Copies of this chain bind each other. A is one copy, B any other.
Amino acid sequence: MTPALVTLTTDFGEDGPYVAAMKGVLLGINPAARLVDLSHQIPPQDLLHAAFFLRHALPYFPPGTIHVVVVDPGVGTERAALYVEVAGQRILVPDNGCWTLLEAAGRPDQVIRLTEPAYWRQPVSATFHGRDIFAPVAGHLSLGLDPVRLGEPMAEWVRLTVPQPQVSGGRLMGEVVFIDHFGNLITNLPAERLPPGSLRVRVGPHDVTRRVRTYGEAEAGSVVALVSSSGLLEIAVSQGNAARQLGAAVGTPVAVESGHGGG
């Protein structure tokens, strides 16, 4: 049998020893575990960023994959540590809501609060549960441990509030929810709610009227609107950086109406 896959997602960066320590602890428990780095470049403590990341990455993995997610501004406080089964994936994560966009695919099959210290590294530090709780629990799970042994089922957990699109005066109103490495602006406006044909998109103070199917259809440097690979309205600059060029950030308002012919 192929040894279990365990993915790692953190905001720890790679310059310090934190990610390496987690890998060491996990492999110390299950030397055969197969580690897959997803990202250690989640912006520090940015739960909305983490939520978007997980929503658009985890569903592609084979069912039963174990995902360790440590973006944890509340480490060492009373916030719970969770084991979650949702959308076929198994997630170890602080109870801060960053996994809850995956609930869109249905209620989680199981949410367990990690309370059984037998599966933790001792002593547990106050500031690094990635190394002391999440990594060792992942190691034990990857060896086949039944998750019911990790703690008690929970019925309530923190949910992330994400901005929802609104309609106002015939315009679809939303905002930028994610900016990728290329500076593309991903909005919370789903493709199926966009008017067909040409669009007029207002991004902060800027108007975008060119709608394309893909970046390369427009000459370099031009600002375009398109449907992103995640099915959301995206504003991009062909071979450029829309965030920089338009001065946009997460939270920048975006309004969409039908264009007036042309396009």
Contacts and interface: CB of A to CB of B under 8 A. Distances in A.
Interface of A: 2-3, 5, 7, 9, 11-21, 23-25, 27-28, 31-32, 34-45, 49, 52-62, 65, 73-77, 79, 125-128, 131-132, 178, 180-182, 213-217, 226-229, 234, 239, 241
Contacts of A37: 14, 37
Nearest to A12: B181
* Number of chain copies forming the complex: 3
Contacts of A52: 17
B41 A14 contact: yes
B181 A44 contact: yes
A255 B248 CA distance: 43
A131 B53 CA distance: 15
Contact of A76 (B3, B36, B213): B213
Most buried by B among A34, A61, A127, A226: A127
A127 B36 contact: no
Contacts of A60: 20-21, 23-25, 28, 131
